[in-house]
Structure 1
Amino acid sequence: MPITYYSSPVGMIRITEDEGYVTSVHFMDEPVEPDEPSAPALKMAVEQLDEYFAGKRKVFDFPFRQAGSDFQQEVWQCLLTIGYGKTISYLQQSKLMKNPLAIRAIASANGKNHMAIVVPCHRVIGSDGGLTGYAGGMWRKKWLLEHEACVMGSGQTSLF
Protein backbone atom coordinates (compact mmCIF):
# COMPACT_ATOMS: atom_id res chain seq x y z
CA MET A 1 0.00 0.00 0.00
CA PRO A 2 1.68 3.25 -1.13
CA ILE A 3 2.03 5.97 1.51
CA THR A 4 3.21 9.55 1.27
CA TYR A 5 3.87 12.18 3.92
CA TYR A 6 2.72 15.72 3.24
CA SER A 7 3.84 18.80 5.14
CA SER A 8 0.88 21.14 5.71
CA PRO A 9 0.22 24.31 7.73
CA VAL A 10 -1.47 22.07 10.33
CA GLY A 11 1.36 19.59 10.58
CA MET A 12 2.43 16.44 8.82
CA ILE A 13 -0.27 14.42 7.06
CA ARG A 14 0.04 10.74 6.12
CA ILE A 15 -1.86 9.82 2.94
CA THR A 16 -2.41 6.19 1.98
CA GLU A 17 -3.53 4.66 -1.30
CA ASP A 18 -4.86 1.26 -2.32
CA GLU A 19 -5.92 0.09 -5.78
CA GLY A 20 -5.96 3.62 -7.20
CA TYR A 21 -7.96 5.18 -4.36
CA VAL A 22 -6.77 7.36 -1.50
CA THR A 23 -7.86 5.46 1.61
CA SER A 24 -6.81 7.86 4.36
CA VAL A 25 -5.68 11.40 5.02
CA HIS A 26 -4.43 11.34 8.59
CA PHE A 27 -2.79 13.98 10.80
CA MET A 28 0.53 12.94 12.28
CA ASP A 29 1.82 14.19 15.62
CA GLU A 30 5.15 12.41 15.28
CA PRO A 31 7.86 14.07 13.21
CA VAL A 32 8.22 12.46 9.78
CA GLU A 33 10.08 13.66 6.70
CA PRO A 34 7.80 14.68 3.81
CA ASP A 35 8.34 12.79 0.57
CA GLU A 36 7.28 12.74 -3.04
CA PRO A 37 4.11 10.72 -3.71
CA SER A 38 4.65 7.65 -5.86
CA ALA A 39 1.11 6.69 -6.92
CA PRO A 40 -1.09 8.85 -9.20
CA ALA A 41 -3.90 9.11 -6.62
CA LEU A 42 -1.41 10.25 -3.98
CA LYS A 43 -0.02 12.88 -6.35
CA MET A 44 -3.54 14.19 -7.01
CA ALA A 45 -4.28 14.29 -3.28
CA VAL A 46 -1.11 16.28 -2.55
CA GLU A 47 -1.81 18.72 -5.39
CA GLN A 48 -5.38 19.25 -4.20
CA LEU A 49 -4.33 19.70 -0.58
CA ASP A 50 -1.80 22.31 -1.76
CA GLU A 51 -4.67 24.10 -3.53
CA TYR A 52 -6.90 23.83 -0.45
CA PHE A 53 -4.28 25.35 1.83
CA ALA A 54 -3.62 28.10 -0.77
CA GLY A 55 -7.35 28.95 -0.68
CA LYS A 56 -7.88 27.84 -4.27
CA ARG A 57 -9.81 24.58 -3.75
CA LYS A 58 -13.09 24.06 -1.89
CA VAL A 59 -14.02 20.54 -3.04
CA PHE A 60 -11.77 17.52 -3.51
CA ASP A 61 -12.26 15.29 -6.54
CA PHE A 62 -9.35 12.85 -6.43
CA PRO A 63 -10.46 9.20 -6.16
CA PHE A 64 -10.97 8.22 -2.54
CA ARG A 65 -12.82 5.67 -0.47
CA GLN A 66 -12.70 4.55 3.11
CA ALA A 67 -13.82 1.37 4.77
CA GLY A 68 -16.78 1.63 7.09
CA SER A 69 -20.24 0.34 7.88
CA ASP A 70 -23.26 1.40 5.84
CA PHE A 71 -24.18 3.82 8.64
CA GLN A 72 -20.69 5.34 8.69
CA GLN A 73 -20.75 5.73 4.91
CA GLU A 74 -24.10 7.55 5.21
CA VAL A 75 -22.69 9.87 7.90
CA TRP A 76 -19.60 10.62 5.80
CA GLN A 77 -21.72 11.27 2.70
CA CYS A 78 -23.71 13.79 4.73
CA LEU A 79 -20.46 15.54 5.71
CA LEU A 80 -19.69 16.04 2.03
CA THR A 81 -22.84 18.19 1.71
CA ILE A 82 -21.61 20.81 4.19
CA GLY A 83 -20.48 23.80 2.17
CA TYR A 84 -16.94 25.13 2.36
CA GLY A 85 -16.70 27.76 5.10
CA LYS A 86 -19.99 26.61 6.65
CA THR A 87 -20.68 24.68 9.83
CA ILE A 88 -23.51 22.58 11.16
CA SER A 89 -24.18 21.12 14.59
CA TYR A 90 -24.37 17.42 15.35
CA LEU A 91 -28.10 17.95 15.94
CA GLN A 92 -28.47 19.53 12.49
CA GLN A 93 -26.54 16.64 10.96
CA SER A 94 -28.83 14.12 12.65
CA LYS A 95 -31.88 15.97 11.28
CA LEU A 96 -30.37 16.10 7.78
CA MET A 97 -29.95 12.36 8.04
CA LYS A 98 -33.57 12.01 9.21
CA ASN A 99 -32.33 10.32 12.37
CA PRO A 100 -32.64 12.94 15.16
CA LEU A 101 -32.10 10.41 17.95
CA ALA A 102 -28.75 9.22 16.60
CA ILE A 103 -26.66 12.25 17.57
CA ARG A 104 -24.12 10.21 19.55
CA ALA A 105 -23.81 7.52 16.89
CA ILE A 106 -23.34 10.21 14.24
CA ALA A 107 -20.70 11.95 16.35
CA SER A 108 -18.94 8.61 16.82
CA ALA A 109 -18.98 7.94 13.05
CA ASN A 110 -17.62 11.45 12.42
CA GLY A 111 -14.75 10.60 14.77
CA LYS A 112 -13.95 7.48 12.73
CA ASN A 113 -13.60 9.44 9.48
CA HIS A 114 -10.20 8.61 7.97
CA MET A 115 -10.32 11.33 5.30
CA ALA A 116 -9.42 14.45 7.30
CA ILE A 117 -10.17 17.73 5.51
CA VAL A 118 -11.45 15.87 2.42
CA VAL A 119 -14.56 14.56 4.22
CA PRO A 120 -15.03 17.70 6.31
CA CYS A 121 -15.92 16.49 9.80
CA HIS A 122 -14.13 19.62 11.06
CA ARG A 123 -17.25 21.57 9.94
CA VAL A 124 -19.44 19.94 12.61
CA ILE A 125 -19.70 21.93 15.84
CA GLY A 126 -21.72 21.85 19.05
CA SER A 127 -25.32 23.10 19.17
CA ASP A 128 -24.13 26.07 21.22
CA GLY A 129 -21.77 27.09 18.41
CA GLY A 130 -18.70 25.91 20.32
CA LEU A 131 -15.99 23.68 18.97
CA THR A 132 -16.36 20.08 20.06
CA GLY A 133 -14.20 16.99 19.63
CA TYR A 134 -11.96 16.49 16.65
CA ALA A 135 -9.70 13.48 16.15
CA GLY A 136 -6.99 15.72 14.66
CA GLY A 137 -6.96 17.98 17.72
CA MET A 138 -9.01 21.04 18.55
CA TRP A 139 -6.30 23.44 17.41
CA ARG A 140 -6.43 21.92 13.92
CA LYS A 141 -10.23 22.12 13.81
CA LYS A 142 -10.06 25.79 14.81
CA TRP A 143 -7.33 26.48 12.24
CA LEU A 144 -9.26 24.77 9.40
CA LEU A 145 -12.49 26.61 10.21
CA GLU A 146 -10.68 29.95 10.43
CA HIS A 147 -8.83 29.23 7.18
CA GLU A 148 -12.08 28.53 5.32
CA ALA A 149 -13.80 31.57 6.85
CA CYS A 150 -10.87 33.76 5.82
CA VAL A 151 -10.91 32.41 2.25
CA MET A 152 -14.67 33.04 2.10
CA GLY A 153 -14.14 36.55 3.46
CA SER A 154 -16.67 35.97 6.20
CA GLY A 155 -14.26 36.46 9.11
CA GLN A 156 -16.07 33.78 11.06
CA THR A 157 -17.78 30.53 10.31
CA SER A 158 -21.48 30.56 9.57
CA LEU A 159 -24.14 27.92 9.96
CA PHE A 160 -25.15 25.65 7.06
Structure 2
Amino acid sequence: MKAARRSAAIGEIAFAVTASAAAQASPVELRYASGSGPNTIGAFATDIFQKNVEDYSDGAVTSKTCALSLPNLLEMTGGVREGIADLGVIAQSYRERFGIEDASARLDRLRELMGEWTPRMEGVSDGEGLSVALWEHVHSRVDVMAYRG
Protein backbone atom coordinates (compact mmCIF):
# COMPACT_ATOMS: atom_id res chain seq x y z
CA MET A 1 0.00 0.00 0.00
CA LYS A 2 2.80 2.43 0.90
CA ALA A 3 4.61 1.67 -2.37
CA ALA A 4 1.45 2.41 -4.34
CA ARG A 5 0.94 5.73 -2.52
CA ARG A 6 4.58 6.69 -3.16
CA SER A 7 4.30 5.74 -6.84
CA ALA A 8 1.09 7.74 -7.19
CA ALA A 9 2.68 10.74 -5.46
CA ILE A 10 5.71 10.61 -7.76
CA GLY A 11 3.43 10.45 -10.79
CA GLU A 12 1.34 13.36 -9.56
CA ILE A 13 4.41 15.50 -8.92
CA ALA A 14 5.92 14.74 -12.31
CA PHE A 15 2.59 15.42 -13.98
CA ALA A 16 2.02 18.67 -12.10
CA VAL A 17 5.43 20.02 -13.13
CA THR A 18 4.83 19.06 -16.75
CA ALA A 19 1.23 20.29 -16.93
CA SER A 20 1.83 23.62 -15.24
CA ALA A 21 4.79 24.32 -17.49
CA ALA A 22 2.85 23.28 -20.57
CA ALA A 23 0.16 25.82 -19.70
CA GLN A 24 2.67 28.65 -20.05
CA ALA A 25 3.12 30.44 -23.37
CA SER A 26 6.85 29.85 -23.88
CA PRO A 27 8.92 26.70 -23.31
CA VAL A 28 10.14 26.16 -19.76
CA GLU A 29 13.63 24.86 -19.05
CA LEU A 30 13.98 22.93 -15.79
CA ARG A 31 17.37 22.89 -14.06
CA TYR A 32 17.94 19.25 -13.11
CA ALA A 33 20.74 18.79 -10.57
CA SER A 34 22.38 15.39 -10.36
CA GLY A 35 25.11 14.17 -8.07
CA SER A 36 25.83 11.31 -10.48
CA GLY A 37 28.91 11.23 -12.63
CA PRO A 38 29.02 10.24 -16.30
CA ASN A 39 28.28 6.61 -17.27
CA THR A 40 26.37 5.85 -14.07
CA ILE A 41 22.80 4.69 -13.50
CA GLY A 42 22.01 8.22 -12.26
CA ALA A 43 23.29 9.77 -15.48
CA PHE A 44 21.30 7.24 -17.50
CA ALA A 45 18.13 8.07 -15.54
CA THR A 46 18.71 11.79 -16.08
CA ASP A 47 19.01 11.27 -19.83
CA ILE A 48 15.74 9.31 -19.88
CA PHE A 49 14.01 12.02 -17.86
CA GLN A 50 15.16 14.73 -20.26
CA LYS A 51 13.81 12.86 -23.26
CA ASN A 52 10.52 11.90 -21.60
CA VAL A 53 9.68 15.31 -20.14
CA GLU A 54 10.13 16.90 -23.54
CA ASP A 55 8.06 14.17 -25.23
CA TYR A 56 5.26 14.20 -22.63
CA SER A 57 4.98 17.99 -22.73
CA ASP A 58 5.13 18.22 -26.55
CA GLY A 59 8.22 20.40 -26.22
CA ALA A 60 6.69 22.84 -23.72
CA VAL A 61 9.21 21.69 -21.08
CA THR A 62 12.90 21.03 -21.57
CA SER A 63 15.53 20.08 -19.06
CA LYS A 64 19.13 21.10 -18.56
CA THR A 65 21.21 18.68 -16.50
CA CYS A 66 23.68 20.08 -14.01
CA ALA A 67 25.68 16.93 -13.25
CA LEU A 68 28.13 16.91 -10.35
CA SER A 69 27.28 20.51 -9.56
CA LEU A 70 25.72 22.45 -6.75
CA PRO A 71 23.68 21.35 -5.06
CA ASN A 72 25.52 18.11 -4.38
CA LEU A 73 23.72 15.00 -3.15
CA LEU A 74 23.83 16.09 0.49
CA GLU A 75 22.52 19.56 -0.36
CA MET A 76 19.95 18.43 -2.93
CA THR A 77 16.72 18.85 -0.97
CA GLY A 78 17.67 22.29 0.33
CA GLY A 79 19.00 23.32 -3.07
CA VAL A 80 15.71 22.53 -4.75
CA ARG A 81 13.75 24.20 -1.94
CA GLU A 82 15.89 27.36 -2.27
CA GLY A 83 15.60 27.49 -6.07
CA ILE A 84 19.19 26.59 -6.95
CA ALA A 85 17.75 23.79 -9.07
CA ASP A 86 14.20 22.95 -10.12
CA LEU A 87 14.63 19.19 -9.73
CA GLY A 88 17.19 17.01 -8.05
CA VAL A 89 18.12 13.35 -8.07
CA ILE A 90 17.73 12.05 -4.55
CA ALA A 91 16.92 8.42 -5.31
CA GLN A 92 20.09 7.11 -3.69
CA SER A 93 19.31 8.81 -0.41
CA TYR A 94 15.78 7.36 -0.50
CA ARG A 95 17.22 3.92 -1.18
CA GLU A 96 19.42 4.21 1.89
CA ARG A 97 16.82 5.89 4.11
CA PHE A 98 13.75 3.84 3.19
CA GLY A 99 15.28 0.64 1.81
CA ILE A 100 13.84 1.06 -1.69
CA GLU A 101 15.29 -1.75 -3.75
CA ASP A 102 12.76 -1.99 -6.59
CA ALA A 103 13.54 1.25 -8.40
CA SER A 104 13.16 -0.35 -11.82
CA ALA A 105 9.60 -1.50 -11.07
CA ARG A 106 8.75 1.91 -9.66
CA LEU A 107 10.05 3.63 -12.79
CA ASP A 108 7.93 1.31 -14.90
CA ARG A 109 4.89 2.27 -12.82
CA LEU A 110 5.74 5.97 -13.18
CA ARG A 111 5.90 5.58 -16.97
CA GLU A 112 2.51 3.83 -16.85
CA LEU A 113 1.03 6.68 -14.78
CA MET A 114 2.45 9.30 -17.12
CA GLY A 115 0.85 7.46 -20.04
CA GLU A 116 -2.51 7.55 -18.25
CA TRP A 117 -2.24 11.30 -17.63
CA THR A 118 -1.39 12.33 -21.19
CA PRO A 119 -4.98 11.99 -22.51
CA ARG A 120 -6.39 13.46 -19.28
CA MET A 121 -4.54 16.70 -19.99
CA GLU A 122 -6.04 17.34 -23.39
CA GLY A 123 -7.69 20.75 -23.19
CA VAL A 124 -6.11 21.66 -19.84
CA SER A 125 -4.55 25.08 -20.23
CA ASP A 126 -4.58 26.71 -16.81
CA GLY A 127 -4.39 26.11 -13.07
CA GLU A 128 -8.15 25.73 -12.74
CA GLY A 129 -8.21 22.97 -15.35
CA LEU A 130 -5.31 21.27 -13.59
CA SER A 131 -7.17 21.48 -10.27
CA VAL A 132 -10.27 19.91 -11.81
CA ALA A 133 -8.23 17.07 -13.33
CA LEU A 134 -6.37 16.41 -10.06
CA TRP A 135 -9.66 16.36 -8.13
CA GLU A 136 -11.37 14.07 -10.63
CA HIS A 137 -8.52 11.60 -11.03
CA VAL A 138 -6.62 11.75 -7.71
CA HIS A 139 -7.90 13.63 -4.68
CA SER A 140 -11.55 12.53 -4.88
CA ARG A 141 -10.39 8.91 -4.79
CA VAL A 142 -8.32 9.15 -1.61
CA ASP A 143 -9.87 7.44 1.41
CA VAL A 144 -8.72 9.81 4.16
CA MET A 145 -9.92 7.37 6.81
CA ALA A 146 -7.25 4.93 5.63
CA TYR A 147 -4.54 7.39 6.73
CA ARG A 148 -5.71 7.91 10.29
CA GLY A 149 -3.04 7.27 12.87
Give the alignment's TM-score, normalised by structure 1.
0.27
Give the alignment's TM-score, normalised by structure 2.
0.28
- Higher normalized helix content (fraction of residues): 2
Greater length-normalized contact order (CA 8 Å, ≥ 6 residues apart)? 2
